[in-house]
Structure 1
Amino acid sequence: MILYHLLKGTLRFNALKRELGDCSQRLLIKQLRELEEDGLVERKVFAVIPPKVEYSISEEGRTLAPILLGLRDWGHGWLTRRNLVARDDHLSEKDTGVSSAA
């Protein structure tokens, strides 16, 4: 989910936390550190007060975009087949530059 939301662009910690909804701060920090260690997320720290940190998806992380978008498309289809309401805030191919058919 973190990588999916970072496909939209660079986000600060609190903005990413809002995107994820019910996620503890501790868990999000842990996951971001692991994704950074794995080279999938980049963290930029600004030397300002109050502290400012931005997270973005790395080039390596971006290679997962077709998979993430494929899962999104599958989930949307699953909800549609069951006549459930799907949130309409998903990313388009235009937003990511990646086709989910790839």
Structure 2
Amino acid sequence: MPEPIEQLILIHQPRTASIETCHQRLSEPFTQEHLIGLALQAEKLHPIGYAVFEWQYLGGSKTGYQRLMNVVHHMFQQGRSLCEITQSLELALHQFETDFSALALKHSIKNQ
């Protein structure tokens, strides 16, 4: 079974999901509604990480783009370098993906 994060990508943007994921159906306990709910929970924990994830894998949205641009602008105003900003955004993405996976694991254990 593909990772829950791959299943989330498949729901929103099938072209960016891995080939293995595209050939498999969503299975319990990860229905489309469950995955979206877990993503919303993880977004509350890491809104910037979700915005990066959304922009990178889901095709982005106007609000996600604006959120990222506001964060980047704020970091530039603080005098941070482009390298530091990139590292911060990568860390935020990693934190979102880690928490999403942890929530998915917790959900799957609870539903067994």
Whether TM-score is above 0.5 comes out as: no
Q: TM-score, normalised by structure 1?
A: 0.36
Which structure carries more strand by proportion? 1
Which structure carries more helix by proportion? 2
